[in-house]
Amino acid sequence: MTTTASVDLTIRDITADSPDSVCTTDLLTAPWDVDTSPGYGPGASMDDTIPTTAPRQGELPQEYRDASDAELDGRIRAAKQTLGDRVVVLGHFYQRDEVVQYADYVGDSFQLANAAKARQDAEAIVFCGVHFMAETADLLSGADQRVILPNLAAGCSMADMASIDQVEECWEQLAEVYGTEPDAEGRVPVIPVTYMNSSAAIKGFCGRNGGIVCTSSNAETVLEWAFERGQRVLFFPDQHLGRNTAKHMGVDLEQMPLWNPARPLGGNTEQQLDDARVILWQGFCSVHKRFTVAQIEEARRDDPNVRVIVHPECPMEVVDAADEYGSTDYITKAIAGATEPTTFAIGTEINLVQRLAAEYPQHRISCLDPIVCPCSTMYRIHPGYIAWVLEQLVAGVVENRIQVSDDVAEPARLALERMLAAKPKA
Ligand code: SF4
């Protein structure tokens, strides 16, 4: 099989040989064909429950659904040229190449939000990512800039695992257990910490309650910040990032109870909560959950010198078995910095891995998971939707604007500012 940078093309190659090698061959189909009701669609998060509050995308006009790839390409490029500096297109690392090719900036969610902030001249920001990322871009961009998510059904199953109502309910229960008074050292009973992959409402919750946001790059620094101010941390939505980070900092696994929002006290006893240092919300990323220790063993059997790097959203056993772990930025820099030809087995989303493999042909770079299964929520962004929102902008119409209300935006920005001010211990 020929390796190409495009996951779309790779899926075609694989399915031609073996139809069982991907999550579903529906991935080859446009979102409007598989989304009989807008949802997460095929891919690694296809089995996740769609929250009732998830935004729904209206029907894409027929002309975009009927257009060939070449026609969409021509229309997107023409619209971008007409709009010039008035529009900036952002593409997340996990987008397929068929989308990334139109991006003015490519990066992780926080890098892209900062790119939006740096382009104050652009009236519109077309964010080829998922819903929470577009919200973060709206928080950080200028008041007059419009952030557009081409397909509103592009949510994130992990972010959706912590709703604001569930988190408020959890907070009330914790206040009953811990009270609200600080200890003798002035540390409050619990500090809420949310991963960037969460809704603006959750970031706002953290801002209102003395909490903070973290990314996968700075989670340890942020937890240090939180432990200086609180006796313990409530970490959401990703249990794996929370567990992997706290474990690396020396927190005992027994002091990290899991909070199941469907059960009283999250399914814990008061004693367990009293002993807790980090309460982990029961969320996960469907893409990173797929990586296993067996895959690492297989990669080592194939090449004993393989360098295995995984993302901290992977389960703890996988992170422990890998040679290294780190954010997408860490992974990218590790590969860019390798001076000798190296075999890499990477545990993160397939589109990024494929792009790195194409960019660094001197190395052998493959995904730990042999089954091509991209993030299905990212897959909702199809060139048809990009052509539609751009041509609407040319016509003076703003479709799919993502706008965070002021009452949420103010505390959410506070939580983000705390993150930016948090410095690693010297
Ligand atoms: S890769 Fe995971 S965390 Fe990222 S958008 Fe997809 S489901 Fe969400």
Q: How far apart are CA 46 and CA 390, in angstroms?
A: 28
pLDDT reported for residue 385: 97
Instruction: Give 1's pLDDT tier (boundaries 50, 70, 90).
Output: very low
| Ligand 1 pocket test target in 23, 135, 158, 369 with most atoms within 8 Å of CB | 158
Q: Burial, 19: exposed, middle or buried (Cβ in 10 Å; 0-12, 13-18, 19+)?
A: exposed
pLDDT reported for residue 400: 96
Q: Which of 18, 7, 17 is nearest to 44 (CA)?
A: 7
Q: Sign of torsion, CA 75 77 386 143?
A: negative
Q: Is the CB of 45 under 6 A from ligand 1?
A: yes
DSSP-assigned letter for residue 25 = G
Q: Burial, 183: exposed, middle or buried (Cβ in 10 Å; 0-12, 13-18, 19+)?
A: exposed
Overall average pLDDT of the 375-382 stretch: 92
Cβ(54)–Cβ(160) below 8 Å? yes
Higher pLDDT, 424 or 147: 147
Overall average pLDDT of the 49-58 stretch: 83
Q: How far apart are CA 107 and CA 73, in angstroms?
A: 22
Overall average pLDDT of the 128-140 stretch: 95
Residue 28 three-state SS? helix
pLDDT reported for residue 8: 84
Overall average pLDDT of the 396-425 stretch: 94
Distance 8 CA to ligand 1 centre (A): 18
Identity of residue 266: G
Residue 22 has pLDDT above 80, yes or no: no
Q: Is the CB of 157 under 6 A from ligand 1?
A: yes
Strand order in the sheet with 87-92: 105-107, 87-92, 124-128, 146-148
Ligand 1 atom closest to Cα of residue 377: 6
Between 23-37, 277-291, 396-410, the lowest mean confidence (pLDDT) is in 23-37
Instruction: Give 20's pLDDT tier (boundaries 50, 70, 90).
Output: low
Between 118-122, 133-137, 161-165, the lowest mean confidence (pLDDT) is in 118-122
CA 400 to chain centre: 20
Q: Which helix (H) or strand (E) holds 406?
A: helix 406-421
Cβ(390)–Cβ(150) below 8 Å? no
Ligand 1 atom closest to Cα of residue 349: 1
| Residues forming beta bridges with residue 309, ordered by sequence position | 324, 346
Overall average pLDDT of the 307-320 stretch: 98
Q: Is the CB of 349 under 6 A from ligand 1?
A: yes
Cβ(350)–Cβ(373) below 8 Å? yes
Ligand 1 atom closest to Cα of residue 44: 7
Q: Which of 421, 379, 410, 413 is nearest to 35 (CA)?
A: 379
Q: Which of 283, 265, 287, 282 is nearest to 274 (CA)?
A: 265
pLDDT reported for residue 26: 79
Between 79-88, 108-117, 291-300, 384-393, the lowest mean confidence (pLDDT) is in 108-117
Distance 67 CA to ligand 1 centre (A): 28
Overall average pLDDT of the 88-114 stretch: 92
Cβ(261)–Cβ(170) below 8 Å? yes
Q: Is the CB of 158 under 6 A from ligand 1?
A: yes
**Angle at CA 203, nearest 5°, toward 221 and 271?**
70
Strand order in the sheet with 233-236: 212-214, 191-195, 233-236, 278-281, 258-259
| Ligand 1 pocket test target in 23, 40, 45, 346 with most atoms within 8 Å of CB | 45
Q: Which helix (H) or strand (E) holds 367?
A: strand 364-367
| Ligand 1 pocket test target in 377, 379, 381 with most atoms within 8 Å of CB | 377
Compute φ and ψ for 283, nearest 5 degrees: -110, 165
Overall average pLDDT of the 306-322 stretch: 98
Q: Is the CB of 327 under 6 A from ligand 1?
A: no
Q: Which of 8, 49, 82 is nearest to 391 (CA)?
A: 82
The tens digit of pLDDT for each residue in 191-243 reads 999 999 999 999 999 999 999 999 999 999 999 999 999 999 999 999 999 99
Overall average pLDDT of the 50-75 stretch: 92
Q: What percent of the chain has pLDDT over 70?
A: 98
Q: Which of 196, 308, 277, 208 is nearest to 241 (CA)?
A: 196
Q: Which residue has the tokens 């104050």?
A: 120
Q: How many helices and strands in the chain, by DSSP H and E? A: 18, 13
pLDDT reported for residue 53: 80
Residue 24 has pLDDT above 80, yes or no: no
pLDDT reported for residue 2: 45
Nearest CA residue ID for atom 8, ligand 1: 156
C-alpha pair distances (Å), 225 with each of 143, 191, 192, 254: 30, 10, 11, 22
Q: What is the mean pLDDT of the chain?
A: 93
C-alpha pair distances (Å), 179 with each of 168, 176, 260: 15, 6, 21
Distance 264 CA to ligand 1 centre (A): 28
Q: How far apart are CA 126 and CA 391, in angstroms?
A: 12
Compute φ and ψ for 367, nearest 5 degrees: -85, 140
Residue 280 three-state SS? strand
Distance 339 CA to ligand 1 centre (A): 31
Instruction: Give 426's pLDDT tier (boundaries 50, 70, 90).
Output: low
Distance 327 CA to ligand 1 centre (A): 13
